[in-house]
Structure 1
Amino acid sequence: MLPATIGVFALQGDVREHLAALTALGVDAIGVRRPEELERCDGLVIPGGESTTMYKLAKTFELFEPLQKRVAEGMPAFGTCAGMIMLADRVEDGTADQVTLGGLDITVRRNAFGRQVDSFETELDFTGVDHPVHAVFIRAPWVESAGEGVEVLARVEGTREGAEADGRIVAVRQGQVMATSFHPEVGGDLSIHRLFVELVEKQ
């Protein structure tokens, strides 16, 4: 049986780290910049970066509509940080022209945890992973609200005592679509990428 082919949206964002994580898990990992590369993919990772820039570049490279169509048709997708915003159906604090791929019945708040100087790291309990996950948050969003069909995989707990951030949803799954507010490609723990690979391989 041939390994799954999983693409990483490669027009902007932290592409290399995701490709390395996926390759380490034995899949055929490829950068996706063109529709013909997307056609080869059994699943797709949308990395951290800048969500409005991702949208504009995807439109320029004629990749946005094919991506939107594949996600709507059930292709497994995994978004991290800005990738979560790209997969959200609704965005708060977005730009006036903010457009997303959709796929997750969630409302996401951009830069909810603050600016670059407010970046932080913490340990999270993550559904499906049998050990605490080390999570790195960099200008991260959080999930303001999630629809009934959305499974909450992780929340921030006790990192900022009494702060508005405490208890916020930072990882979700709905059907074949996963997303995290943080950067699981940082730090060498492949557990969350492994969950996504298993999701793809079940197709």
Structure 2
Amino acid sequence: MNNKYNDIRFKFLHILGETVVNSLKKRGFLATYVNQKEEALRLICDLIQDGSSVGIPGSVTIREIGAIAALKEKGCTIYEHWNMPLTIEEKNKIFIRENSADYFLTSSNAVTRNGILVNVDGVGNRISGMSWGIGELIYVISMNKVADNLEAAFSLIRNRSCVLSALRRGVDSPCAQVGYCVNCMTSQKVCKAFLIQEAPPTGRKANVILVGQTLGC
């Protein structure tokens, strides 16, 4: 019985994933659907040339699939600011390097069925790298981030992504205390800036890898 339902879930995710891929392609993204995170990692390693520089902002997904270790094995220079005891000045310098790397590797907080990417940021470094940069964009997005429409995408981000982010970082925001967005106006607010991408930035190549698993926040 379990295998039967697993097969149905697998088929459902594949069908929906291909629907989103087709929508992304119509908008100019280079999109692919894969079943497992291991396949996503292989695609990343195929897309990124050996010895390249790669900017990796705050992304649980990218770290969950093991991209950093794999890219270092390819001789890539990784720019990241996570999990490091940095001063504000040091962190700002890395933000610039992340956005100026040959590749900008990240995830997305949500993607709508019709192929629109929606992201939130507290500092602004991640969404700035998505909207402006000199390198090629690579998004790895798990199927738990697919939303019906923009309204649903914002709800998903505010009531799940932001709460999980606050809990992960130990931020004492109101949403972290109750488990959902309360539209706070405190200094601890993690959803300070949003980016809606209806198409890749002009003159910039953007790859999207959809993964049929639950990853990230």
TM-score, scaled relative to structure 1:
0.29
* Higher relative contact order, chain-length normalized (CA < 8 Å, sep 6+): 2
Structure with more of its chain in strand, by fraction? 1
TM-score, scaled relative to structure 2:
0.28
Structure with more of its chain in helix, by fraction? 2
